[in-house]
Structure 1
Amino acid sequence: PATGGAAGLAAAFADFMMDEDRAHNPPTSVVPRFHAFIARTSSARTFAVLPTRPNPRPTHADEGAIEAPAEIRTALIQHLAVPLGGDVLAAEYVLAAIVSRVHTRTDSLALGKLSVTLMGVPEGGDLPRNLAAAIADIAPYVAHLPLSIAGLNARSWTPKKDYGVNRLRSGPLQLAPGTVAILDETALTSGQLRETGVRNVQALKQLVQLQELEYDFQYHQMRMPVDVPVVVLTSAKQGDSVVQGGECRVPLRMVKDTRVAEPLDPVMAKTMRRFVARAWGSDHSISEKAGEEIESEMVAARQGERKATELEFHRWLTIARLCALSSGETDLTVKHWKHAMECERKTEERLRLM
């Protein structure tokens, strides 16, 4: 009888564990499904500008005209500057990152992206959370990802196939297209990265530099293209940021304490979201006059004392393009180019003074 009781207890425990496993890993047949009779293709951001009543063939005309784009751009920068302690230059770079997207891919470049690293962010403060909240007011998706030694070592941050349940396990870096990822290094402390942590840091660099994410199928790895604008927040004041590979390094110059941005007026919030969505989804063109002047300045930069590199040319053009788009315009003019170069000049001056 004692043996039978032990066997019964073991069988009951096995049934309990099976029920527990099914609760966390339900069979495909009982996973909820969503059935759609009519669907239209959108993106992470264009849904914000599509009409309530669907047009079978939506065009840019459906978005409606946006009045006073200069005023809206100023309002966006001021909104983002609040959590950044009033730093307007840093806010302008963050806005450029938000409206950036990959428009062309080569073997080693993802053209159009703009990753921004804000340096000298106070440790242990509320700035990262406040900035994430401010971006969430104007962008559809925001992922605030605090980086820590324990968190990086704990699990894979990239998708990994679990053959035990025949399912792909998601990771924190598996994000919807257009999601603004805030990589928060301000909570990092000294410690030892194990193998998983090292792979996660490599995945972060790959995301920032190439806009690619590696899926781990155990027997082989597959790189998938992504489109995730990245803002890195680091307390470092030199080039020792953990996440490397971004285009812009901007030292933060706070003139006041960080705080939560004031709630937006519903009408203004809708206008700002439409403005950001349109900027993100628009293409750009360069006039002949602008092209000639930009080309002449690039030639001069290549022949100067500090010869500019090809990557710097890509960065300058990208910033100028995003300056135009974030101004509500699609034509990249000499005005946008000069404004972009002025932003770069101010950033270089800050870097020299660090």
Structure 2
Amino acid sequence: MVSSLLVEALASPTDLLDSLYESQDASNLSNFPRTVANHFSDIFKSDEAFAEVASIPSLSPSSRHKDRALVRFRALVQDTSPAPEMYLSRLKTGKLGGWGLFDISEDIGKQEDISYDDLRDCTVLWAVNVPGESGWYTTTLDNAPSQVTSQAAPPRPYKYPVPHESHIGVQIKIYDSSGNDAPKTAEVVNFVGILTTEALHTESDATIDVPTLHVLFTRPHKLEPITLGLGDSADESLREELIGWIADEALGGDRDAAEWFLLASLARVQSRSRSLNPPSLTLSHFPSPTADITIPTVSHILAALHPLAVTLPLSLDFLNQVPFAPESKQEDLHSGVLQLAHGTTVLITESGVQEGKLVERGVLNVRTVQDVMTLQTLAYKFPYSEFSFPTDLTFVVLAQGSKSAFWKTDIILPLAPGPSFDFYKAKVDLKMPSSDKLTAFRSLIVGAKTGKIDLTEAASEYIQSDFVQERKADSSVTSEDLKQTLTVARLLGISLREKEVTVDIWNRAKELDKRRKARFM
């Protein structure tokens, strides 16, 4: 049975907000924003009810919804630095004054006897649709086709991490004081609230109208297989089919390269305190494009399989002109290309880099990428300071030479393709698996990317003994080699949907790495 409150909230969230306010005892009004958050989140507690809320389309949200419509916006928090905004929580008439019902900046002069006890602060953020979110994933979560189309430039385009890509940006106003639970920079959050268009005042005194979402409640967003509804079945034959498809369509039939590509793309930060970060991968001797198409086929494969994937086609102009780290200018945070959601796989192509000189920004960009690869932190630049924020990004570099021209990655694998292979097929020329098979591939990947795996006691003892024997045979073997092989074993195990690293998985990881090293001989 459909709740009457659900119907009312969907039809007119403002009316429901007003009636909730009028029903409150005067002693409870000081904590009304918390009451609002609890009330609306309870109405939309179930996944079925939550799905009833219209999702902001990928572009021009204010033009596609009526004013003060109830919408949800799954967004990356781009900027938390705007100053809190003052609002009048109770009007002279006794009516509610928050959630865009009263603009204090325009109307305060009309209120002759304002009670300053009724003044409150709301948190103001800037948020953008999630960079690199694949179309199939958007469709799955929103129960509607992805609607990324080319339209008029959105306001403040410099606040979106991926240059020249269609997107939306929204001013977010949060009335519930969340304390330590307040949305954090680069966090992905589901904001649910009332959509309006309001003026945004900048430090340069310029005023522009922007989409503004007055938040009723928020809901955390997590990458979970159950959220995708993709099922949970996988076996080794499915994994082998996936590796075969990647190899045959994008990597010249090189199954080892496809397996390393798969494992690297599944990696996540395991422990910051122990520096168990995702291993970065370079596929070396990657062929250059010979036609007008410069984006490699493996980029389309990545987007078809992963929820979050960004391709950075490098050139000297790109390195020298585009900021990779966020930077505050006139108290306005400009985004950098690495201000991405946790769990994003970043594919970097070096084929577009020709001879030339790196200027200061280019050198800083190279250093920024290396820091994120190695430390999993991204430095945000402010006029008199610099702060580092945690990241969780996976990097795969396609290098023309024997190694990357710019970065030291954890793993290098020389590509060994078959003859006469086209590495730069257009997306429409991809031989896609059946719909059911593609869904199974995605389920395997999302399950592995969010999965956990333990080390059995028997395997731990075996690995320690094996490492000691290996060091006796080769003194160049270090504890870092052990750490990397164990990381690969964990990735191999979760790609098999195993719960524990076994002796067999450890030996398979060692054999995979042995074949990799043999390519350098």
TM-score range, shorter chain: 0.7 to 0.9
2:451 counterpart letter in structure 1: S
2:389 counterpart letter in structure 1: M
1:235 aligns with 2:438: no
Larger deviation, residues 316-325 vs 269-278: 269-278
The equivalences for 1:284-303 within 5 A come to 284-303=453-472
RMSD between aligned residues: 2.3
CA 1:320–1:167 in 2, change beyond 3 Å: closer, same or farther? Answer: same
Instruction: State the Cα distance separating 1:142 from its structure 2 match.
Output: 1.4
Contact 2:232 2:447 in 1 (8 A): no
Q: Which residue of 2 aligns with 1:198?
A: 363
SS in 2 for 1:27: strand
Aligned-residue sequence identity (percent) comes to 29
Greater share of residues in helix: 1
Contact 2:277 2:374 in 1 (8 A): no
Q: Which residue of 2 aligns with 1:93?
A: 260
Distance 1:264 1:330 in 2: 28
Q: Which residue of 2 aligns with 1:308?
A: 477
Contact 2:347 2:395 in 1 (8 A): yes
TM-score (norm 1): 0.82
Distance 2:310 2:500 in 1: 31
1:157 aligns with 2:336: no
SS in 1 for 2:520: helix
The equivalences for 1:35-114 within 5 A come to 37=216, 39-43=218-222, 45-46=223-224, 48-50=225-227, 64-66=231-233, 68-81=234-247, 82-106=249-273, 110-114=275-279
Contact 1:141 1:178 in 2 (8 A): yes
Decide which of 333, 337, 349 is 1:168's aligned counterpart. Answer: 333
Contact 2:231 2:443 in 1 (8 A): no
CA 1:37–1:275 in 2, change beyond 3 Å: closer, same or farther? Answer: farther
Instruction: State the Cα distance separating 1:277 from its structure 2 match.
Output: 1.0
Contact 1:49 1:274 in 2 (8 A): no
Q: Which residue of 1 aligns with 2:489?
A: 320
Q: Which residue of 1 aligns with 2:82?
A: none
SS in 1 for 2:269: coil
Instruction: State the Cα distance separating 1:284 from its structure 2 match.
Output: 0.9
Contact 2:277 2:376 in 1 (8 A): no
Contact 1:116 1:249 in 2 (8 A): yes
Distance 2:246 2:456 in 1: 31
The equivalences for 1:5-16 within 5 A come to none
Decide which of 369, 373, 382 is 1:208's aligned counterpart. Answer: 373
The equivalences for 1:333-344 within 5 A come to 333-344=502-513
Contact 2:379 2:386 in 1 (8 A): yes
1:249 aligns with 2:426: no
CA 1:193–1:127 in 2, change beyond 3 Å: closer, same or farther? Answer: closer
1:131 aligns with 2:298: yes
Contact 2:232 2:443 in 1 (8 A): no
Distance 1:152 1:224 in 2: 22
**Structure 2, unaligned stretches of length 5 or more?**
1-153, 158-198, 202-207
The equivalences for 1:110-121 within 5 A come to 110-121=275-286
SS in 1 for 2:236: helix
Instruction: State the Cα distance separating 1:196 from its structure 2 match.
Output: 0.6
CA 1:351–1:102 in 2, change beyond 3 Å: closer, same or farther? Answer: same
CA 1:330–1:34 in 2, change beyond 3 Å: closer, same or farther? Answer: farther
The equivalences for 1:247-286 within 5 A come to 247-256=410-419, 257=421, 258=423, 259=425, 261-286=430-455
Contact 2:448 2:494 in 1 (8 A): yes
1:255 counterpart letter in structure 2: G
SS in 2 for 1:104: coil
Contact 1:80 1:135 in 2 (8 A): no
Q: Deviations over 1:74-110 (max 9, x none)?
A: 122112212111110011011101111001013xx63
Query: More relative contact order in 1 or in 2 (CA 8 Å, sep 6+)?
Result: 1
Distance 2:212 2:257 in 1: 43
Distance 1:23 1:116 in 2: 36
1:251 counterpart letter in structure 2: P
TM-score (norm 2): 0.57
Contact 1:201 1:242 in 2 (8 A): no
Distance 1:272 1:283 in 2: 18
Contact 1:83 1:127 in 2 (8 A): no
Instruction: State the Cα distance separating 1:242 from its structure 2 match.
Output: 2.7
SS in 1 for 2:445: helix
1:284 counterpart letter in structure 2: I
Q: Which residue of 2 aligns with 1:19?
A: none
Distance 2:367 2:483 in 1: 23
CA 1:282–1:269 in 2, change beyond 3 Å: closer, same or farther? Answer: same
Q: How many residues align?
A: 312
Instruction: State the Cα distance separating 1:217 from its structure 2 match.
Output: 0.9
CA 1:345–1:114 in 2, change beyond 3 Å: closer, same or farther? Answer: same
